Amino acid sequence: MHIGFIGLGKMGKAIAGLLLGNGHELTVWNRSQEAVQELVAKGARAVSAPSALGKSDILLSILANDAATRSVFLDQGVLEAAHPGLIHINLATVSVGLAKELAELHRRRKIGYVAAPVFGRPDAAAAGKLNIVVAGDPASVSKAQPILETIGQKCWPVGAQPENANVVKIAGNFMIASAIETMGEAVALVRSHGVKADAFLDILTNTLFAAPVYKLYGGLIAAQTYKPAGFTAPLGLKDVRLALAAADESNVPMPFANVLRDSLMELIATGGADDDWAAVAKVAARRAGL
Amino acid sequence: MHIGFIGLGKMGKAIAGLLLGNGHELTVWNRSQEAVQELVAKGARAVSAPSALGKSDILLSILANDAATRSVFLDQGVLEAAHPGLIHINLATVSVGLAKELAELHRRRKIGYVAAPVFGRPDAAAAGKLNIVVAGDPASVSKAQPILETIGQKCWPVGAQPENANVVKIAGNFMIASAIETMGEAVALVRSHGVKADAFLDILTNTLFAAPVYKLYGGLIAAQTYKPAGFTAPLGLKDVRLALAAADESNVPMPFANVLRDSLMELIATGGADDDWAAVAKVAARRAGL
Amino acid sequence: MHIGFIGLGKMGKAIAGLLLGNGHELTVWNRSQEAVQELVAKGARAVSAPSALGKSDILLSILANDAATRSVFLDQGVLEAAHPGLIHINLATVSVGLAKELAELHRRRKIGYVAAPVFGRPDAAAAGKLNIVVAGDPASVSKAQPILETIGQKCWPVGAQPENANVVKIAGNFMIASAIETMGEAVALVRSHGVKADAFLDILTNTLFAAPVYKLYGGLIAAQTYKPAGFTAPLGLKDVRLALAAADESNVPMPFANVLRDSLMELIATGGADDDWAAVAKVAARRAGL
Amino acid sequence: MHIGFIGLGKMGKAIAGLLLGNGHELTVWNRSQEAVQELVAKGARAVSAPSALGKSDILLSILANDAATRSVFLDQGVLEAAHPGLIHINLATVSVGLAKELAELHRRRKIGYVAAPVFGRPDAAAAGKLNIVVAGDPASVSKAQPILETIGQKCWPVGAQPENANVVKIAGNFMIASAIETMGEAVALVRSHGVKADAFLDILTNTLFAAPVYKLYGGLIAAQTYKPAGFTAPLGLKDVRLALAAADESNVPMPFANVLRDSLMELIATGGADDDWAAVAKVAARRAGL
């Protein structure tokens, strides 16, 4: 089985490395060559243009955003080169709008299309511990399943429309951002009354909020350690904007998402473009003069 | 040791029952007599006026709100009747303002005052599984400790100022409300794009958000079951207002708390006064025409 | 006719001065004596305790806030000293809650009570150019009318319940604050795209928004001149809080008022306590990194 | 002088009619032919494709939105057909992004480009009473000036970058929307306390807020008359989104704009798609259970 892989950012490298480690043969393409060489060193083959991967049986892609996805699949001709029967598994977080458009374009060309955005950071990816939200026509999903099970610890099917998986991923990232802002505001409140952030967060994240998201980001907020960023403010803002764009399409008011957009924009506009998105807690504190 | 107990609402009854079950002798008072009789049947002694409990060694109280607390301790003379040396353990969620005022009044009369608001529902209280946030002068806290360890599974000390415990409790409840609103908005978004609430929440509450608060309220939201209420919208609104009042005192902007206040007021103003506060998810859906 | 006058702040002095200038005999009281001496120099009589004014035919008061009003009328015994038949005209901006309470207390004592909060600054007051919102029982209003017509350029009756006038005044001040925040955000937007604040505001405040509020505050915002304050941020915050408190009473969500509260708190918490409330425009700019 | 005119919606028809009435010769194009015939009856010439207008000396256009503008000028070849020396006056409200893009495209082809968005409704347009915000290179603006002075009662120059005019127009529309929401919330507040909307608005719109925007929309809100719409909710939402998009470009938090977006989306999602955008006041009332 020929497996193609497009997009070797942090997440892409980890996933491609995992597949190679599991004995899969992989042909890879990436815009910058450095990452390609890393994977070649681990046994991957490389091609010089992404369209060369149109002959694969399975084509995985995980590009940074809508623009990169559009550029590679539409402008650089991957879709045009794809043979009918190919299954494209898109692991990236793209907009609901692009997800619908891609679904339609694949359908017309009789190419299988599976949206499979992932929850998890690069270390989870390298360990095969991702949670994968999966949507697409059942036949394609079924063919994608073995690969997805290699990549993730669990697949969560959410229907036959690929965009379903994307809206779930986008809504999930909105929930993470909300958890961060919530802690930021709560910490500003308790600090203004003389309670230390870590004393407060220690209680909550070990009882009612004993969940990975709260422990991870609660730790960053308590320590006020926002660099180096695991996930930068601009990336977080991009994801919040995806939520707002999806909400715009169907007229869904999301007042929390508005607050998140404003907090992240303020963070970026006031010097925090390199900070982890957890630094919205810093914005909450600054607004209170803390 | 003479232990007095004031306030036999759902939480108070459960805690008082637990203490009796653990062999403590308890003298109780409550505004309505029905709850008093229940406790007497379990071995408690009763007094006809709360001020009679001023002779206790330890006096526990858990009244519904600031007004009830003020009425019993100030207007009905409990504080006046309290002998120096008494330790008052206030388990209730009261405002930071009242907490400070009570701390000062106890100090003047040389009565020990320990703020010990609790996280947990009545069933957790009956089982001794509460999490208790504790603050007060070290000597008083030390005397309160054995009783508190009977009541809760864990005590979380947050300092010598009693109001510290209250601001932690209030900020914690704000976090719960934020989690509910977050799920409400996220569910409205995914539903507007054809994904079912339970499919979505099942993923999130079993992975990144695998915490008690998300599981409990996520379940209610997925099932759209808001009656009977575990915690009604007006009680939720009261707590959000405590957060906003505490924020007002120290000029801390809390945009999420504003949204929560509005959602809960809208819920109540449009017929949801008897709903569980999880029904803010219903408001989020209605705003989107779902 | 004996006219008493309580409260000689900026507004009070201007109004009392106007009445003296119109030939009325005035007996005044104020907490600080300096202002009293100014009025005595203009022909007023002074009393050493406010309760001495209980014998007046008409008693005007304009105190800074709820607390001052409560202190003078309840604690210092003015209401107790008031003879039945006295008409009390309260020109101050007080809360809806206090307005109702005062209305009830006056009613019980058969004292006339007219709520008559004013729109306008001290210079307008001195010139008899205030707009006065008037509510109260018709008989009392009718007796108050001649005095009110001396003070204001126009009286706007809004019903028989005194609190009606207060909610109108409070909602009006909310509208002013909203106009300021609106200009602040709009100016941040155009500035971020290279358009100067004055060029922008000049257009709007001379066309669609050619109203006194926009001209006055637009001028301050264009010039970024927030000191000396005509109306300080803390006073503005007090009034926004009155709106939110009135909204709380009847469960009315006011998302704009929430934003105003946060902007004013942020302004104050970050060093702007002496600024005019127009300086929320500064906050809007700072959030955008301008 | 050959004048071309593209876009005969309500505003376009009124402006084109005014120009004909002032003795100008006009060649017009519009997607639907009905409006074209109306103008031909008044003396205009018609062409069957917009690109035929590339030979004009002055080309005015006022299309409904970005998509229509893009379709006509880019896809249907108007820009390609335009001769160097032509002056294009774009009267429409388009996004800042499109404004920049168009400016660049015109520059490359050596076509003059003047952004001249207008404030005013069709009746003002027919009467030559529009306020026109003008930006563009001085030479082009100077050539456009005589035509613009025919159309408008006043031209407001805001610089040499065409997009400057668009951001001013967008920010101005944001201010109108804010004024509407402000009145909606204020009216909900006073109504909840027993004061009628018209009594309240009558005071404010005749004193501090005696400006056209407040009088017009205050009248609609007091009468609760939202149909037929002068400007529909979806058009209003489109304009608020233009403000948010412009704010997104430069990371400017605009919390009021967020509220406006949510209120308009809620209005549309709950059956108000044909209402005037003043009907956000209805949403404010409904949230309060009024």
A13, A143, A169, A282: which one is catalytic?
A169
What is the rounded distance in angstroms from the CA atom of residue C17 to the CA atom of residue C38? 9
Contacts of A289 in chain C (CB under 8 A): 266, 269-271
In one-letter notation, the amino acid at residue D185 is E
In one-letter notation, the amino acid at residue C162 is P
Paired tokens of A187: 């910490």
Active site residue C169: yes
Distance from CA of B253 to the nearest CA of C (A): 5
Residue D1: per-residue pLDDT:
83
Cβ(C168)–Cβ(D190) under 8 Å?
Answer: yes
According to DSSP, the β-strands at D130-136 and D118-119 are antiparallel
- Nearest chain A residue to B242 by CA: give it: A189
* Type and span of the H or E element at B119: strand B118-119
Among the listed residues A277, A245, A253, A254, the one whose alpha carbon sits nearest the alpha carbon of residue A264: A277
Residue A26: per-residue pLDDT:
97
The whole model's pTM is what? 0.96
Instruction: Tell whether A270 lies on the interface with D, counting CB pairs under 8 A.
Output: no
Residue D224, Ramachandran bin (φ over 0: left; ψ between -120 and 50: alpha; else beta): left
Helix pair D162-192, D255-269: axis angle to 10 deg: 70
User: Cβ D158–C200 below 8 Å, yes or no?
Assistant: yes
pLDDT confidence tier of residue C97, bands split at 50, 70 and 90: very high
According to DSSP, the β-strands at B130-136 and B118-119 are antiparallel
Instruction: Give the nearest partner residue to C262 out of B253, B262, B268, using CB atoms.
Output: B253
- Residue ranges of chain B with per-residue pLDDT less than 70: none
In one-letter notation, the amino acid at residue C235 is L
Q: Which residue has the higher pLDDT, C215 or A1?
A: C215
In one-letter notation, the amino acid at residue A132 is I
Q: What is the pLDDT of residues C8-32, one digit of tens each?
A: 999 999 999 999 999 999 999 999 9
Average pLDDT over residues C146-153: 96
Instruction: Give the nearest partner residue to C265 out of B251, B262, B263, using CB atoms.
Output: B251
Instruction: Give the nearest partner residue to D289 out of B262, B269, B289, using CB atoms.
Output: B269
Cβ(D255)–Cβ(D214) under 8 Å?
Answer: no
- Nearest chain A residue to C283 by CA: give it: A287
Among the listed residues D62, B168, C59, the one whose alpha carbon sits nearest the alpha carbon of residue A194: B168
CA-based end-to-end distance of chain B: 59
Instruction: Tell whether A270 lies on the interface with C, counting CB pairs under 8 A.
Output: yes
Torsion of CA A178, A180, A184, A189, to 10 degrees: 60
Distance from CA of D165 to the nearest CA of B (A): 32
User: Cβ D262–A248 below 8 Å, yes or no?
Assistant: no
Q: What is the pLDDT of residues D85-107, one digit of tens each?
A: 999 999 999 999 999 999 999 99
Q: How far is CA C76 from the centre of its chain?
A: 23
Radius of gyration of chain B (CA): 20
User: Cβ D253–A268 below 8 Å, yes or no?
Assistant: no
pLDDT at residue D279 is higher than 90: yes
Neighbour tally for A113: CB within 10 Å: 25
Burial class (CB in 10 A: 0-12, 13-18, 19+), A23: exposed
**DSSP state letter for A82:** P
Coil, strand or helix: which one is A262? helix
- Whether the ω angle into residue C255 lies within 30 degrees of 0, i.e. cis, is no
Q: What is the pLDDT of residues C219-266, one digit of tens each?
A: 999 999 999 999 999 999 999 999 999 999 999 999 999 999 999 999
Q: What is the pLDDT of residues A190-200, one digit of tens each?
A: 999 999 999 99
Cβ(D187)–Cβ(D197) under 8 Å?
Answer: yes
C13, C143, C169, C282: which one is catalytic?
C169
B42, B100, B154, B169: which one is catalytic?
B169
ipTM for the complex?
0.97
Residue B1: per-residue pLDDT:
83
What is the rounded distance in angstroms from the CA atom of residue A101 to the CA atom of residue A95? 10
Q: Considering chain A, what is the average pLDDT of its residues?
A: 97
Point out which residues pair with D132 in neighbouring strands: D118, D155
- Nearest chain C residue to B273 by CA: give it: C251
Task: Calculate what percentage of chain D has a pLDDT beyond 90.
Answer: 99
- Nearest chain B residue to C270 by CA: give it: B251
According to DSSP, the β-strands at A118-119 and A130-136 are antiparallel
Paired tokens of C239: 């009034």
Residue B99: per-residue pLDDT:
96
Torsion of CA A176, A177, A183, A185, to 10 degrees: -160
In one-letter notation, the amino acid at residue B11 is M
CA-based end-to-end distance of chain A: 58
Q: What is the pLDDT of residues B236-258, one digit of tens each?
A: 999 999 999 999 999 999 999 99
Residue B157: per-residue pLDDT:
97
* Type and span of the H or E element at B38: helix B33-41
What is the rounded distance in angstroms from the CA atom of residue D288 to the CA atom of residue C136? 26
Chains that touch C (3 or more CB pairs under 8 A): A, B, D
Cβ(A134)–Cβ(A151) under 8 Å?
Answer: no
Instruction: Tell whether C289 lies on the interface with A, counting CB pairs under 8 A.
Output: yes
Q: How far is CA A184 from the centre of its chain?
A: 23
Q: What residues 185-214 of chain B have any CB closer than 8 A to a CB of chain A? A: 185-190, 192-195, 199-200, 202-204, 207-214
Residue B115: per-residue pLDDT:
98
According to DSSP, the β-strands at B26-29 and B45-46 are parallel
Instruction: Give the nearest partner residue to C189 out of D156, D167, D204, using CB atoms.
Output: D167
Chains that touch A (3 or more CB pairs under 8 A): B, C, D
Residue C1: per-residue pLDDT:
83
Q: How far is CA C72 from the centre of its chain?
A: 18
Q: Considering chain C, what is the average pLDDT of its residues?
A: 97
**DSSP state letter for B276:** B
* Type and span of the H or E element at C152: strand C152-157
At B116, give phi and psi (nearest 5°).
-145, 60
Point out which residues pair with A115 in neighbouring strands: A90, A135
Residue D167, Ramachandran bin (φ over 0: left; ψ between -120 and 50: alpha; else beta): alpha
Helix pair A96-108, A162-192: axis angle to 10 deg: 170
pLDDT confidence tier of residue D158, bands split at 50, 70 and 90: very high
Which residues lie below 8 Å from residue A104, measured CB to CB, with a gap of 6+? none
Distance from CA of C196 to the nearest CA of A (A): 19
Neighbour tally for B176: CB within 10 Å: 24
Q: What residues 220-249 of chain A have any CB closer than 8 A to a CB of chain B? A: 243, 246-247, 249
In one-letter notation, the amino acid at residue B42 is K
Which residues lie below 8 Å from residue A284, measured CB to CB, with a gap of 6+? A181, A184, A185, A187, A188, A263, B253, B254
Task: Calculate what percentage of chain B has a pLDDT beyond 70.
Answer: 100
Residue to test with chain B: of C237, C251, C265, most B Cβ within 10 A: C251
At B178, give phi and psi (nearest 5°).
-65, -40
Instruction: Tell whether C131 lies on the interface with D, counting CB pairs under 8 A.
Output: yes
User: Cβ A241–D248 below 8 Å, yes or no?
Assistant: yes
Instruction: Tell whether B258 lies on the interface with D, counting CB pairs under 8 A.
Output: no
Cβ(C276)–Cβ(C232) under 8 Å?
Answer: yes
Point out which residues pair with D45 in neighbouring strands: D27
pLDDT at residue A187 is higher than 90: yes
DSSP structure string for chain D: --EEEE--SHHHHHHHHHHHHTT--EEEE-SSHHHHHHHHHTT-EE-SSGGGGGG-SEEEE--SSHHHHHIIIIIT-HHHHPPTT-EEEE-S---HHHHHHHHHHHHHTT-EEEE--EES-HHHHHTT-EEEEEEE-HHHHHHHHHHHHHHEEEEEE--SSHHHHHHHHHHHHHHHHHHHHHHHHHHHHHHHTT--HHHHHHHHHTTTT-SHHHHHHHHHHHHT---S-SSBHHHHHHHHHHHHHHHHHTT---HHHHHHHHHHHHHHHTT-TTSBGGGHHHHHHHHTT-
Among the listed residues A1, A7, A56, the one whose alpha carbon sits nearest the alpha carbon of residue A25: A1
Residue A191: per-residue pLDDT:
98
Instruction: Tell whether D255 lies on the interface with A, counting CB pairs under 8 A.
Output: yes
Instruction: Tell whether B255 lies on the interface with D, counting CB pairs under 8 A.
Output: yes
pLDDT at residue A1 is higher than 90: no
Instruction: Tell whether B271 lies on the interface with C, counting CB pairs under 8 A.
Output: no
- Whether the ω angle into residue B228 lies within 30 degrees of 0, i.e. cis, is yes
What is the rounded distance in angstroms from the CA atom of residue D59 to the CA atom of residue C122? 54
Alpha helix stretches (DSSP H) within chain C: 10-21, 33-41, 66-70, 78-81, 96-108, 122-126, 138-151, 162-192, 197-205, 212-223, 233-249, 255-269, 280-287
Distance from CA of C244 to the nearest CA of B (A): 11
Paired tokens of B148: 């508190």
Which residues lie below 8 Å from residue C26, measured CB to CB, with a gap of 6+? C3, C4, C5, C16, C19, C20, C39, C43, C44, C45
User: Cβ D252–A258 below 8 Å, yes or no?
Assistant: no
Average pLDDT over residues D19-42: 96
Q: What is the pLDDT of residues A82-116, one digit of tens each?
A: 999 999 999 999 999 999 999 999 999 999 999 99
Instruction: Tell whether B289 lies on the interface with D, counting CB pairs under 8 A.
Output: yes
